């Protein structure tokens, strides 16, 4: 299950996928913060988040999202399943691709949709250690902080307050 919002949601909107995703997605009622024993320690109504994001938020299984995207482009582009790219060489007019189980091919453009540990990304950028411009940050928040932020969000939605007050020590 993934939460789908902001840039991804906007892109899906441009692809006219939102009605389909809303049919297969889920509207989560409440977000809960749990401790190491899976016991809820705090949380807030998901409606707060949906309103803050102007209803551009839904949750759905990752596979359902992938299927919806594929079905949208299946008759417009060539796709290949059950094979892996082992080499890529790009020049000014195209891309030569060597497949693990097939003959070499030439394309105008390739899109490697081969998952989190993408072989395509590894082949193209790992030798140069090039950063792709995507940064992820994870953090652990205390129940007090979650409660503070959810209360601030609710006040902002109700009163149009835009400044984040000082966090209580």
Q: What is the pLDDT of residue 82?
A: 85
Strands of 49-122 (E only): list them. Answer: 57-60, 85-91, 94-99, 105-107
Q: What is the pLDDT of residue 100?
A: 92
- Residue 140 token pair: 């652990």
Instruction: State the 10-residue block means of pLDDT for the chain, 169 residues long.
Output: 83 90 89 82 86 87 88 87 89 92 89 79 71 53 58 55 47
Residues 2 and 67 in one domain: yes
Number of domains in the chain: 2
Residues 83 and 71 in one domain: no
Residues 64 and 18 in one domain: yes
Instruction: State the Cα–Cα distance between residues 11 and 95, nearest whole angstrom.
Output: 26
Range of the domain at 115: 77-135
Residues 65 and 107 in one domain: no
Residues 40 and 108 in one domain: no
Short-list 49, 54, 8, 2, CA closest to 24:
2
Instruction: State the Cα–Cα distance between residues 3 and 5, nearest whole angstrom.
Output: 7
- Residue 160 token pair: 């149009």
Q: What is the pLDDT of residue 133?
A: 56
Q: Please give the DSSP secondary-structure letter assigned to residue 57.
A: E
Residues 32 and 64 in one domain: yes
What b/e sequence results for 3-20 when a residue is b if at least 16 CB atoms lie within 10 Å of its CB, and e otherwise? bbbeeebeebeeeebbeb
pTM surpassing 0.95? no
Q: What is the pLDDT of residue 22?
A: 92
């Amino acid at each position: 299950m993934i939460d789908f919002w902001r840039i991804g949601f906007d892109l899906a909107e441009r692809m006219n996928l939102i009605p389909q995703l809303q049919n297969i997605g889920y509207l989560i009622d409440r977000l809960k913060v749990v401790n190491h024993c899976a016991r809820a320690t705090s949380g807030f109504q998901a409606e707060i988040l949906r309103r803050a994001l102007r209803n551009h938020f839904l949750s759905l299984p990752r596979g359902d999202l992938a299927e919806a995207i594929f079905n949208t482009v299946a008759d417009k582009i060539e796709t290949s399943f059950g094979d892996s790219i082992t080499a890529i060489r790009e020049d000014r007019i195209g891309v030569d691709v060597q497949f693990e189980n097939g003959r070499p091919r030439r394309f105008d453009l390739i899109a490697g949709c081969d998952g989190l540990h993408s072989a395509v990304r590894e082949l193209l950028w790992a030798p140069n250690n090039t950063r792709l411009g995507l940064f992820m940050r994870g953090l652990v928040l205390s129940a007090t902080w979650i409660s503070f932020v959810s209360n601030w969000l609710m006040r902002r939605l109700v009163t149009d307050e835009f400044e984040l007050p000082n966090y209580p020590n």
